[in-house]
Amino acid sequence: MEVIKQVSTIREKVQALRCGGKRIGFVPTMGALHEGHLQLLRASAQENDVTICSIFVNPTQFNNPDDYKLYPRTLEQDVELLKTVNCDYLFAPGAEEVYPQQPLLQFSFGPLEAVMEGEHRPGHFNGVATVVSKLFHFVQPHKAYFGQKDLQQVTIVRQLVQALSFDLELVCYPTIREEDGLAMSSRNKRLNVEQRQIAANLYNALQMARGQLGQKAVAAIKEDIRNYLNQQDQVELEYFEVADVNTLQPVQDLSEVQEVALCIAAFVGPVRLIDNLLVNLKEE
């Protein structure tokens, strides 16, 4: 596996690969890799001639400077993991390579960025859209792979791809979970032993809500989830939402939709975690 740190070098490499008729799969990450990332990389290796992974902790998508500073950075371990899943190239640029000038362009995603992550993390999706656009231009993939855990981010990127006519296929894979249900996340590395056990309550809450769909009104379900998590030590619920799976707008009447996304964000100690479940109401 070749490690590339310069934008000019990855551009040259990609141009040569495309001229040679190679299909490129791309997995953009912020590092601290786990099985969720490796699932995407294995899929890319199976479905494409060449797989490129990027590791870049993007400063423009952090609205909390402490969160950016504390985000896990484990490049040496990540390199070893990438070698086990047939990754061909690691693109690991510095911030000065990705942002030679301060970005001024502003993206707007309408109602999609006014709910959940967009509401609670102002500017987050503008930073996501900026860096994803740049990475897509640098790498020019045929397929780009994302995980369902960041459901709203995937929906934003899908809208970005359509709006800017990127010539690529967006692929989304289901969330990979620990044995107790906790969604795998790079941020899990920041949890201590006690917090790690407590964090499983987020998945328990989603399962509880899933069992109540069709049995209770949405407002009552949301109140039950709030009460359940308020009883857990070191857990501070930021939001729990029952949303239309396509638009991610809040749903009040379940009879109006066929599939919903149960979405949650909470702090466990100092660490902010997100998760979601997709539920087809016709199959429940």
Q: Please enumerate, by residue number, every residue annotated as part of a binding site for beta-alanine.
A: 61
Q: Please enumerate, by residue number, every residue annotated as part of a binding site.
A: 30-37, 61, 147-150, 153, 176, 184-187
User: Do 153 and 106 touch, CB atoms closer than 8 A?
Assistant: no
Q: Which among 157, 153, 109, 112 is positioned nearest to 134, based on CA atoms? A: 157
Q: Please enumerate, by residue number, every residue annotated as part of a binding site for ATP.
A: 30-37, 147-150, 176, 184-187
Q: What SS3 class is residue 237?
A: strand
The DSSP bridge partners found for residue 17 are none
Q: What is the dihedral of CA 223, 224, 230, 231, to 10 degrees?
A: 160
Catalytic residues: 37
User: Do 201 and 233 touch, CB atoms closer than 8 A?
Assistant: no
Q: Which among 15, 18, 41, 16 is positioned nearest to 28, based on CA atoms? A: 41
Q: Please enumerate, by residue number, every residue annotated as part of a binding site for (R)-pantoate.
A: 61, 153
Q: Which among 231, 229, 284, 279 is positioned nearest to 251, based on CA atoms? A: 279
